[in-house]
A = this chain, B = another copy of it.
Amino acid sequence: MDKTLLFGAAYYPEYLPGERMDEDIDMMMSAGMNVVRIAESTWSTLEPEEGIFNFSYIDRVIEKTEAAGMMVIIGTPTYAVPPWLVKKDPDILVDTKDGRARYGYRQLINLLNHTYRNHAEKMLRKLAAHTADKKNVIGYQIDNEAKHHGNMGKEIQKLFLDYLKQKFITTDRFNDTFGLAYWSNSISSWDDLPDLKGCINGGLMSEFEKFQRSMAADFLKWQADIISDYKRSDQFITNNLGFSWKKFGAPIAHDGYSYGVQRSINFYEASQSLTLAASDIYHPTQDQLTGAEISFGGDVTRSLKDNNYLVMECQAQAFKYWTPYPDQLKLHAFSHLASGALGILYWNWHSIHCGYETYWKGLLSHDLKPNPPYYEACEIGKSWKKLSRKLCGLKKSNKVALIVDNHSMTAFEWFPIDKDLTYNDVVRWMYDSLYEMNIECDVVDINALDISKYKVIITPALYCITEEKLKILNDFVKDGGVLISSFKSFITDEYVKVFSDTQPHHLQECFGINCNQYTYPGTIRILGHPVKYLAELLIPDKAESLAEYEHKYWGNYSGITRHNYGNGVAYYIGCYTDKSVLKDIYKKAFADASIPVSELTWPVTIKNAISADNTQLHFILHYSSEEREFTCPYESAADLISEITYQKGDAIRLKDWDVLILEEKTLPEQ
């Protein structure tokens, strides 16, 4: 698989009416597809009764795809349990804040339940033993969109209590850490800790959710260890990580898209037991197609292991809001590659005729016939076959890191910045501004940060932070780095206790500011733009104020500051405002960091990478229904798709939703 772009789909022959596997495989082959993922939610098919295993449909898929020269990814079916198993032990259903789940939906499992674990282990061992020696099985996806399922059952609360005892030793330290004296919540005996379902202490509940996330990561590790007893060394282990979903209010499954950091599992922690990172990425299309979600999802997933990754699920038609315009599917596909993907699998091959996701349409519509999206997939397949060797395993080397933290994310659920501004809104505000400027970045979990790789570090609303990390950030600037931090960064310690000195804690020297007041912006403007959600009233005691608030009463305060500190520079952005303001700050900061900023901006998106041939590639991704022309900025470059060569200064014409891959003739600098 190393030198082959993966192009395929999730395939559910067990959901299809009637037998048509040969026809499906023929159609896939015609489309240039080379991989299917199977089995990840079909426990009741694989083990219809306790102990009676039936892998026949898996065998048939493996045999027929092998015959066709295609590859298979095996999903373990643990995220949706069969009725007989729940009947055997109803405690398998997760007990959440809203009470015991009812059987029906997926992802409602108490991952700590022993009956579940026993049966899951049997299934995992059987399935791995049965498939690991199949030549065309290239890897395993363990579980699917793994999460903690809101588990608040007695097992996890017991384990959490053990964890607290071990961590804090005395109830006094525990009470003090989380401020439990407040509203009389403190305890003098560990046994008195009440059921957390009613707990209103945001710090303790954030700690508990961190513990829930670890439980989910541990569950993946447990699966990975079992699979590793069987799999070949050339077979990967991955999960299909699912991003936080932006809801837009349509009912049932037809609702929302991949938006930001996931709250219910820590991707970085989870990916420790994987050998390959993978995620699913869903996003608006038609006039709302911007490429931002593809880029964000790719940067997150690639950064997990600082390596290429797989887009395990992406949309073909999906639901009515996303029926792709002509050329959009192609644009999606190349955009994923441009971020460093090893390939994509559509979810799913066919549309499903019954059940919850009937209208989450696949590449084929319900009539299972060729249709416009299918014909466009055929074009992609053809193109990828041609370019596979060169585009597989692209190398990226970004000098900018955007830091994310799902502990802060949970804390904001308890202490929101604003009812209309979530943590992910801030992350995406800072990320999307980079994206629109054609500045590529890594998106790095705060716990995975290696400052030595970066010239610029950006912290959107990094609310909770340890003293140790603060010191690292301080040293980063002192040693020449550029730090850009937004409002609500560095407010609390790791237990969500607000620091009791003047903000920004530990970094007052670094930023050259202090602040102990903030306000709802009301009519405040900054640099001519309205301020929304929050305005921290910054006093730039040492820093340069880049902009004061435009307001009768708050005009003495700064909203954005810049400070030369040691060999570096620190920017603080104390308020939420128009992205254009943020981009102007970025420009200054990238100048400070000697990072060149392209004159081309979205909707002409540029992604750079080093090809497998060690050539410098520039993906030109045109997110617009208009035609557009731009001037070739490269000395000499050939478009790998059209095979046209451009010289510096040549006019390059972009059709609507166009893709070019410009390969520079000169070798890249190392």
- Which chain B positions have C-beta within 8 A of A77? 184
Q: In the complex the two chains form, what is the Cα distance from A103 to B186 in whole Å? A: 12
Question: Would you call A565 an interface residue if the criterion is a C-beta within 8 Å of the partner chain's C-beta atoms?
Answer: no
Let me know if B286 and A200 touch, CB within 8 A. no
* Interface hit among A227-235, A377-385, A412-420, A638-646: A412-420
- Which chain B positions have C-beta within 8 A of A43? 184
Let me know if B353 and A498 touch, CB within 8 A. yes
A80, A87, A191, A320 interface centre (most CB from chain B within 10 Å):
A320
Let me know if B522 and A286 touch, CB within 8 A. yes
Let me know if A14 and B366 touch, CB within 8 A. no
- Which chain B positions have C-beta within 8 A of A189? 49, 84
Q: In the complex the two chains form, what is the Cα distance from A44 to B499 in whole Å? A: 24
Known contacts: A202-B356, A365-B516. The answer to whether A48 contacts B183 by CB under 8 A is: no
- Which chain B positions have C-beta within 8 A of A14? 181
Contact digits for A229-261, partner B, Cβ 8 Å, 1 yes 0 no: 000000000000000000001111010000000
Question: Would you call A500 an interface residue if the criterion is a C-beta within 8 Å of the partner chain's C-beta atoms?
Answer: yes
Let me know if B516 and A198 touch, CB within 8 A. no
| Residues of A493-529 whose CB lies within 8 A of B | 495-503, 516-520, 522-523
> A534 CB to closest chain B CB, in angstroms?
6
Let me know if A499 and B415 touch, CB within 8 A. no
Partner of A84, one of B188, B369, B552: B188
- Which chain B positions have C-beta within 8 A of A187? 44, 82-84
Let me know if A198 and B320 touch, CB within 8 A. no
Partner of A184, one of B80, B102, B180, B191: B80
Question: Would you call A323 an interface residue if the criterion is a C-beta within 8 Å of the partner chain's C-beta atoms?
Answer: yes
Q: In the complex the two chains form, what is the Cα distance from A199 to B201 in whole Å? A: 34
Let me know if B419 and A354 touch, CB within 8 A. no
Q: In the complex the two chains form, what is the Cα distance from A48 to B188 in whole Å? A: 6
A184, A194, A201, A369 interface centre (most CB from chain B within 10 Å):
A184
Contact digits for A171-215, partner B, Cβ 8 Å, 1 yes 0 no: 000001011111111111101111101111111000000000000
Let me know if B179 and A366 touch, CB within 8 A. no
Contact digits for A43-56, partner B, Cβ 8 Å, 1 yes 0 no: 11100110010000
A16, A17, A101, A372 interface centre (most CB from chain B within 10 Å):
A17
Question: Would you call A431 an interface residue if the criterion is a C-beta within 8 Å of the partner chain's C-beta atoms?
Answer: no
Known contacts: A179-B15, A182-B354. The answer to whether A198 contacts B517 by CB under 8 A is: no
Question: Would you call A106 an interface residue if the criterion is a C-beta within 8 Å of the partner chain's C-beta atoms?
Answer: yes
Q: In the complex the two chains form, what is the Cα distance from A323 to B534 in whole Å? A: 11
Let me know if B185 and A44 touch, CB within 8 A. yes
Q: In the complex the two chains form, what is the Cα distance from A188 to B47 in whole Å? A: 10
Contact digits for A399-422, partner B, Cβ 8 Å, 1 yes 0 no: 000000000000000111011000
A17, A82, A254, A500 interface centre (most CB from chain B within 10 Å):
A500
> A101 CB to closest chain B CB, in angstroms?
7
Question: Would you call A321 an interface residue if the criterion is a C-beta within 8 Å of the partner chain's C-beta atoms?
Answer: yes
- Which chain B positions have C-beta within 8 A of A534? 320
- Which chain B positions have C-beta within 8 A of A352? 179, 182
Question: Would you call A649 an interface residue if the criterion is a C-beta within 8 Å of the partner chain's C-beta atoms?
Answer: no
- Which chain B positions have C-beta within 8 A of A178? 354-355
- Which chain B positions have C-beta within 8 A of A69? none
Let me know if B355 and A201 touch, CB within 8 A. yes
Interface size class, chain A: 35 or more
Partner of A183, one of B41, B199, B249, B416: B41
Let me know if A192 and B287 touch, CB within 8 A. no
Chain A interface helix/strand/loop/mixed: loop
Let me know if B323 and A192 touch, CB within 8 A. no
Let me know if A184 and B317 touch, CB within 8 A. no
Question: Would you call A359 an interface residue if the criterion is a C-beta within 8 Å of the partner chain's C-beta atoms?
Answer: yes
| Chain B minimum-CB-distance residue to A191 | B87
Q: In the complex the two chains form, what is the Cα distance from A197 to B108 in whole Å? A: 14
Question: Would you call A358 an interface residue if the criterion is a C-beta within 8 Å of the partner chain's C-beta atoms?
Answer: yes
Let me know if A103 and B194 touch, CB within 8 A. yes
Question: Would you call A264 an interface residue if the criterion is a C-beta within 8 Å of the partner chain's C-beta atoms?
Answer: no
- Which chain B positions have C-beta within 8 A of A82? 184-187
Partner of A200, one of B202, B353, B356: B356
- Which chain B positions have C-beta within 8 A of A359? 415
Let me know if B320 and A104 touch, CB within 8 A. no
| Residues of A10-46 whose CB lies within 8 A of B | 12, 14-18, 41-45
Let me know if A45 and B287 touch, CB within 8 A. no
Known contacts: A45-B181, A49-B189. The answer to whether A355 contacts B502 by CB under 8 A is: no
> A509 CB to closest chain B CB, in angstroms?
15
Contact digits for A524-555, partner B, Cβ 8 Å, 1 yes 0 no: 00000000001001000000000000001100
Let me know if A106 and B183 touch, CB within 8 A. yes
Question: Would you call A164 an interface residue if the criterion is a C-beta within 8 Å of the partner chain's C-beta atoms?
Answer: no
Task: Name 28 A/B residue pairs within 8 A (Cβ), A-sorted.
Answer: A16-B500, A17-B500, A43-B184, A44-B185, A45-B181, A49-B188, A83-B194, A84-B188, A86-B194, A87-B194, A102-B198, A103-B198, A104-B185, A105-B200, A179-B354, A182-B357, A201-B356, A202-B356, A250-B416, A250-B418, A326-B553, A351-B498, A366-B498, A367-B500, A367-B502, A367-B503, A367-B516, A553-B625
What 7 pairs across the A-B complex have the smallest Cβ distances?
A102-B198, A179-B354, A104-B198, A182-B355, A365-B516, A80-B184, A323-B519
A14-B181, A52-B188, A82-B186 given; name 12 further pairs at CB < 8 Å.
Answer: A15-B181, A17-B500, A44-B187, A45-B186, A77-B184, A83-B194, A102-B198, A179-B353, A179-B354, A202-B354, A286-B520, A353-B497
